[in-house]
Amino acid sequence: MSRARCVVILLVCSSVALAGDAVSSVNGKLGYVGGGMDGDPGHNVFASFGLPVAKNFGFQGDGLYTHVSDVDFTGAGGHLFWRDWDRGLIGVTGGIVHGDLVDSAAGGLEGEYYFGKLTFMAWLGTANIEYDRPVPFIATSVTDFYAAAGLRYYLLDDLMFGATYLHLFDNELGSARSSTRHRSTG
């Protein structure tokens, strides 16, 4: 898999991971993920901010910067959603990624269902990736659906463990994470 394709998948995964966070008040976060991709160092900095829009409606904006080898990528995304803390969340989400070699866009629906200490999550939409020049491993322009499902379990009010599965551009990806913030604290 090429570096550009890995970065786009990483960026979409980051967006999906951020999509489920609470927006009960104005808040924000900043994160960093680094590592190697095909032997080259990679750095991914992401940020988000959230704010309430109206009763039970919220907005979250996401931004990122990625540098892999000598290639830079930037991206932005947004989530507009309705949430009932006793039942769940329904929303629309979209984002773009732009880089020296590739442009990508994705949009779709997201949902969460709250069942006690468990949160069930799902995302479904379409994504497009376009390379600036032909590459041997994928068509120059591909549009595909994406689907993701996840589960979070709150062992304690402020300790969450979660896992997510994602299908995107014929890739199957999984992730696991933990957090020390309760979903209702924003």
CATH of the domain at 116: 2.40.160.40
The pLDDT mean for the chain works out to 81
Span 59-87, average pLDDT: 90
DSSP 8-state code for residue 184: G
pLDDT given at position 116: 92
Residue tagged 């913030």 (tokens): 181
Looking at the chain, the whole-number percentage of residues with pLDDT higher than 70 is 78
What distances in angstroms separate CA 128 from CA 15, 57, 105, 158, one per listed residue? 15, 28, 5, 37
- Please tell me the pTM assigned to this model: 0.73
Q: How many domains in the chain? A: 1
| More confident of the two residues 76 and 18 | 76
Judged against a pLDDT cut of 80, whether residue 143 lies above it is answered with yes
Q: What is the pLDDT of residues 26-39, one digit of tens each?
A: 888 899 888 876 67
Distance in angstroms (rounded) separating the CA atoms of residues 5 and 137 = 9
Domain of residue 13 covers 3-185
